[in-house]
Structure 1
Amino acid sequence: TQLLIDLPIRLPGGIEYWDFTCSPIRDERGVLEDLLLVGVNVTARVAQHERQKRNVDQAQERVSQMVELHRVSLEVASQLGQDPTKLLRMILGKMVALVQATGGVIWYADRERGDLECVISVGLPRDYMGQAVPRGAGLPGRVAITGESQRVDDYRSYPLRTGEFDDPAFRAVAAVPMQQRNQVIGVIGLVKTAESVTPKYPDEAPPATFSEDDIWLLELFAVQAAHAIENTRTYLDMERAYQQQRALDRQKDDFIARASHDLRLPLTSVVGYLDLALEMLPQARDDDVRHLLQTAADEAQRMKELMDQLLEQARLDDGKREVHLAPVALAEVVKEVVAARRKQVALHGTPYEFTVMVAPDLVVMTDLARLKEILENVLSNAVKYSPKGGQITVEAHGVGAVAEMRISDQGIGIPADAHAQIFERFTRVDSPLASAIGGTGLGLYLARQLAESMGGTIALERSTPEVGSIFLVTLPC
């Protein structure tokens, strides 16, 4: 009987594989006399078989990787509009496993500054959550700038490593960008330590570094991670824009209702008082007719102001209003506008006291017509929202290259939660007192647009309910 033995033999030059066949030698009577041992070196054949096996294993591994990538892409597509953190953690976990890394991190890139902030940290010796890496600093910072993947075989000797991402156990590090529309929106970093991996085959060393194939695979997964982030950002931007549009639509609806009401009231008053004046004219006293006609004129003026605001807003929105800057003596303009407002309110008997404190030599570079509109809008609000009268003051002085003008009143004031919205179009203070007062919600919006068009600003400096408000207007000198 023959005996076949496959035997690996370790020699100084390496391992060789031999096939041994042992055959008995017998005499004429069948008695065993000797053994014939024949050895054949099959190292080349074994090596070829091993290569074929590894090729098959690698092909199967690549198929498994593509299957995982497909699963991830399906997950990304199904998670639209949801918090991507859980999905990104899953993607990072798969990346770590597929390239036999110890762990990894995901950094988001700040849209304005470009700095990186760690949002996910998995499997590393310490938690890097919240850790910031300045733009351009270290390996991840360089990837964020260049948009190209980088790998370091010996991170301990890497000269640009940064304290924001470092550990004595780090051996090999790879960083790949997450990009959308040629812009880096984040970076994924993976780490291997000396103890993190084991060889797949007995005769190979542990893969302690990242190969080109590893980088290729990581880049494919980074694309999916970028899609997850960008899908969420796009969804949130669209949702935000939709909500803003809905809010604007509601404001427009409210404005149309208010404008219709506010325009109808003075028009009705004008028609009514004129009809009454005509009926009373034959037997009426001059004072009675004058009072009726004055009331009609006041209501017509109020309607004119409303229409002026609507037309001015349309001109500003269409960009049809030109700016003509010229030196203007601020004191003269303020006195002129205040005098007109004082004359108008005096007819109603409400006790307003106007005070002007502007240096006669204060000159601003402005558009005269626009400056008057700003003053008229702010003073109109001061009068309108001070139903009991009181002190209205306009004071101005130069501060460096600008003039600061403050308009203060003793009116109903503005609640703190409304300060940020009062300069928005169609916005009015939501309070019982304010609701009883007519208006379009365009006055302060127009004042801001006009001021900014001339290189100036307008802001609510201070306001206290039932005490009054102070508005600050700045104009270039």
Structure 2
Amino acid sequence: MPTDSPKPGTVPETAFEPAAMFRAFFDQGTHSAAILAPDGTVLDANRRALEPWNAEASDVAGRKFWDCMWWEGEPAAAGAVRAGAGQAAAGEVFRCHLPYHRPGQGGRFADVVISPLRAADGSIAMLSAIGADATERRRAAERLRLLDAIGEATRIAADPKAILDGATRLLGEHLGATRVAYADLEPDNDRFTIRHDWTAPGEASTVGVYSLDLFGSRAASNMRAGRTLLIGDVDTEIAQDDGAAMFNAIGIKAIICCPLVKQGSLVAMMAVHQRDPRAWAPGDVALVDAVVERCWAHVERVRSTEALRAADRHKSEFLATLAHELRNPLAPIRNGLDLLRMSADKPAVMATVRQMMERQVGHMVHLVNDLLDVARVSTGKVVLRLERTDLQSVVGSAVETSLPLVEAAGHGLELRLPDAPVWLDVDLVRMSQVLSNLLSNAAKYTPGGGRITVEGALEGSEVVIRVRDTGIGIPQEAMGSIFDMFTQVSRSLDRSKGGLGIGLSLVRHLVGLHGGTVAAASAGPGQGSTFTIRLPAAAGARSAMEARAAGGGASVVTGALEILVADDNVDAADSLAALLRAGGHRVRTVYDGEQAVRAARACPPQLAFLDIGMPRMDGYATARAMRAEPGLAGLRLVALTGWGAQEDRARSREAGFDHHLLKPAAPEELAAILAAVQT
């Protein structure tokens, strides 16, 4: 009868021949193995122990275990193995973690076990030597220790430089590198700035600003895509005209460059440079990748902390300055009120006091308007009303506003503008505000009798405006923050006209809204300063004078009006009514919305000024109620409020208001509204 076939997973009986079974087990094992005589002579070695060296068992048979190729160049390890073989021959198992040699792969480690093999009578017949490669496990442990050391060094660091000092040094020493560099990426995703690098002794630093394209298409494309750049030999992997020349210029033959991408943007990168070609291990790339992540996180943490501290410091300085700036005009206004009570029979004194109070109120209004403008700009609520206008008109409007301050300080003012019109598409009011702020800034920070120059010209496709002064100048360390909110170059008591430190911040934001830039320059303290504005020039402009003529001229007030004023602030309502009566108009005054509606029904006015924040019925509800009255169809409504954001103006239009005035209303604004009603 035929014999049954072996069951799946079983071995045929012929395979149980002892010698064949031992050979299969010995050669196919997962560890390197050798059989030694008790004196350490190699009797046999398996395939795993021989193949990496392209050796045969006959190449090692008869040689002492510690004299074989495994320990070439590792005399300490060979000595340990020799001692271990003696320990095993004495009947005791030897275990040790040792470095060993492998062709083309220096710095490898193995866990070695040498055990005695006993005969039936208990004597030591042979020795078994087993080796398991532990290189990756050891490197992983070393990487973890390194990352722990970097984490500890950066955790206690108080500034970005200290963080990068520790991290790059530890990484460079661990990898035996030539240089380790940390770089920030610029917003244009083209340039990068190496903020800090560690170098081996005698190597040059590469700190500076570079373009990605300088290093060739491979490096640039990898960085922009957020991929790691791994080069073992620059000369064989990169063309000379596609980056190799640049790498060689800074002494690099091998490189790992790990980019860091956050929220879809390349924010930083860390590069490890090697002067000679190098075969990088996968663990090396993972390590650099982990270090750049940690460095960036710690640097951002420190920067955020510094920013919070700076913001808190600026806030405290701002509140102190605001209190000072508001007290300055409040003091003379308070004194003026006392003088007015005491000088009712002295018209000349009263006239002088009134002029003084008007100046101080104007100063306070300017401060409040600047604060509101900054709030609107920072929240994106400023809407520009662009119109085609010429440079000369913009400069003229700004000079008209700033001239009193310039003349009061005894400064000379020189205008250098082209004779031919230079056209821009700008919000004339906002751009005049920009130049007025720069002129006022120049007047404040220039000692008496100085000189201020305004230059304007068309340069290519840009209109360039420069405001120069002979003032106190700007220290180099302040240049980077001169446009920051609440920043002043000097806060000494003799610079008490410095304002709130928001003027230049407002300038930068408003110029930016126009698609332009502003920059400051100074040779240093006492050397004056120059502020340069660059704006897009208008193309295909028609005459601004024609445009203004097409819009018509201003209206002229001719005759008295019937006016209603409603405001729960009795002083505000009565003072506005008195001002309007002084202009020859007939005015009725009420102090809440319900009274305003009843008064308008009883005697319809031509014009009504309504405060928004009235009790019982606010200004919006009052306006809607008046618009619902058939007998008030021709009534013009003016909102009076301290809220002037775009949504506030939109809300007043929706309620039926024709005009929106901020408190305190300027005389020229009142005059324009009165004139509009009369036409």
CA 1:128–1:355 in 2, change beyond 3 Å: closer, same or farther?
closer
Instruction: Tell me what 1:87 maps to.
Output: 170
Instruction: Tell me what 1:66 maps to.
Output: 137
Instruction: Indicate whether 1:379 and 2:439 are aligned.
Output: yes
Post-superposition offset of 1:238: 1.6
CA contact (8 A) 2:180 2:271 kept: yes
Post-superposition offset of 1:143: 7.8
Instruction: Tell me what 2:487 maps to.
Output: 427
CA contact (8 A) 1:412 1:466 kept: yes
CA 1:297–1:248 in 2, change beyond 3 Å: closer, same or farther?
same
Post-superposition offset of 1:306: 1.0
Runs of 5+ consecutive residues of structure 2 not aligned to the other structure: 1-16, 34-48, 50-109, 112-130, 155-162, 538-679
CA 1:116–1:51 in 2, change beyond 3 Å: closer, same or farther?
farther
Instruction: Tell me what 2:424 maps to.
Output: 364
Q: Distance in 1 between matches of 2:183 and 2:493?
A: 44
CA 1:306–1:327 in 2, change beyond 3 Å: closer, same or farther?
same
Instruction: Tell me what 2:372 maps to.
Output: 311
Q: Distance in 2 between matches of 1:116 and 1:261?
A: 41
Q: Distance in 2 between matches of 1:398 and 1:453?
A: 20
Q: Secondary structure at the match of 1:274?
A: helix
Q: Distance in 2 between matches of 1:361 and 1:447?
A: 24
Q: Distance in 2 between matches of 1:143 and 1:394?
A: 48
Specify which of 255, 270, 283 is matched with residue 333 of structure 2: 270
Q: Distance in 1 between matches of 2:394 and 2:227?
A: 57
Q: Secondary structure at the match of 1:66?
A: helix
Instruction: Indicate whether 1:442 and 2:505 are aligned.
Output: no
Specify which of 31, 51, 54 is matched with residue 31 of structure 2: 54
CA contact (8 A) 1:89 1:120 kept: yes
Q: Output the amino acid matched with 2:148.
A: A
What are the superposed Cα offsets for residues 301-341 of structure 1, whole Å, 9 maximum, x if unpaired?
11111111111110010000012332112223322332343
Q: Distance in 1 between matches of 2:519 and 2:216?
A: 38
Q: Distance in 2 between matches of 1:440 and 1:105?
A: 50
Q: Distance in 2 between matches of 1:464 and 1:191?
A: 42
Q: Distance in 1 between matches of 2:476 and 2:231?
A: 54
Q: Secondary structure at the match of 1:52?
A: coil
Specify which of 440, 443, 455 is matched with residue 395 of structure 1: 455
Instruction: Indicate whether 1:454 and 2:519 are aligned.
Output: no
CA contact (8 A) 2:226 2:261 kept: no
Post-superposition offset of 1:374: 0.7
Instruction: Indicate whether 1:261 and 2:321 are aligned.
Output: no
Q: Secondary structure at the match of 2:519?
A: strand
Q: Distance in 2 between matches of 1:115 and 1:260?
A: 43
Q: Distance in 2 between matches of 1:408 and 1:43?
A: 97
Specify which of 147, 159, 164 is matched with residue 76 of structure 1: 147
The more displaced of 380-389 and 319-328 is: 380-389
The more displaced of 294-303 and 61-70 is: 61-70
Q: Output the amino acid matched with 1:69.
A: A
The more displaced of 455-464 and 330-339 is: 455-464
- Identity across matched positions, percent: 24
What are the superposed Cα offsets for residues 388-429 of structure 1, whole Å, 9 maximum, x if unpaired?
244444332222222222333444444444334322211111
Q: Distance in 2 between matches of 1:344 and 1:142?
A: 55
Post-superposition offset of 1:474: 2.6
CA contact (8 A) 2:230 2:257 kept: no
CA contact (8 A) 1:108 1:116 kept: no
Where does 1:226-265 land on structure 2 (aligned, <5 Å)? 226-265=289-328
Q: Output the amino acid matched with 2:383.
A: E
CA 1:356–1:120 in 2, change beyond 3 Å: closer, same or farther?
closer
What are the superposed Cα offsets for residues 52-100 of structure 1, whole Å, 9 maximum, x if unpaired?
373568886444532441342143034221422343245425xxxxxxx
TM-score (norm 2): 0.48
Q: Distance in 1 between matches of 2:446 and 2:171?
A: 57
Give the number of aligned pairs.
392
CA 1:327–1:224 in 2, change beyond 3 Å: closer, same or farther?
same
Specify which of 343, 347, 351 is matched with residue 280 of structure 1: 343
Instruction: Tell me what 2:468 maps to.
Output: 408
What are the superposed Cα offsets for residues 102-156 of structure 1, whole Å, 9 maximum, x if unpaired?
xx7676585545999997899xxx9798699964579x8998789479898x999
RMSD across aligned positions (CA): 4.6
CA 1:249–1:165 in 2, change beyond 3 Å: closer, same or farther?
closer
CA 1:62–1:221 in 2, change beyond 3 Å: closer, same or farther?
farther
Q: Distance in 2 between matches of 1:72 and 1:151?
A: 21
CA 1:227–1:273 in 2, change beyond 3 Å: closer, same or farther?
same
Q: Distance in 2 between matches of 1:174 and 1:73?
A: 24
Runs of 5+ consecutive residues of structure 1 not aligned to the other structure: 1-39, 94-103, 167-172, 194-208
Q: Distance in 2 between matches of 1:367 and 1:107?
A: 50
Q: Using CA pairs under 8 Å that are at least 6 residues apart, name the structure with larger relative contact order, 1 or 2.
A: 1
CA 1:398–1:67 in 2, change beyond 3 Å: closer, same or farther?
closer
Q: Output the amino acid matched with 2:175.
A: L
Q: Secondary structure at the match of 2:388?
A: strand
Q: Distance in 1 between matches of 2:390 and 2:234?
A: 69
TM-score (norm 1): 0.66
Q: Output the amino acid matched with 1:223.
A: A
Q: Distance in 2 between matches of 1:341 and 1:165?
A: 55
Q: Distance in 2 between matches of 1:411 and 1:158?
A: 57
Q: Distance in 2 between matches of 1:155 and 1:393?
A: 55
Q: Distance in 2 between matches of 1:467 and 1:115?
A: 33
Instruction: Tell me what 2:77 maps to.
Output: none
Instruction: Tell me what 2:86 maps to.
Output: none
CA contact (8 A) 2:168 2:181 kept: no
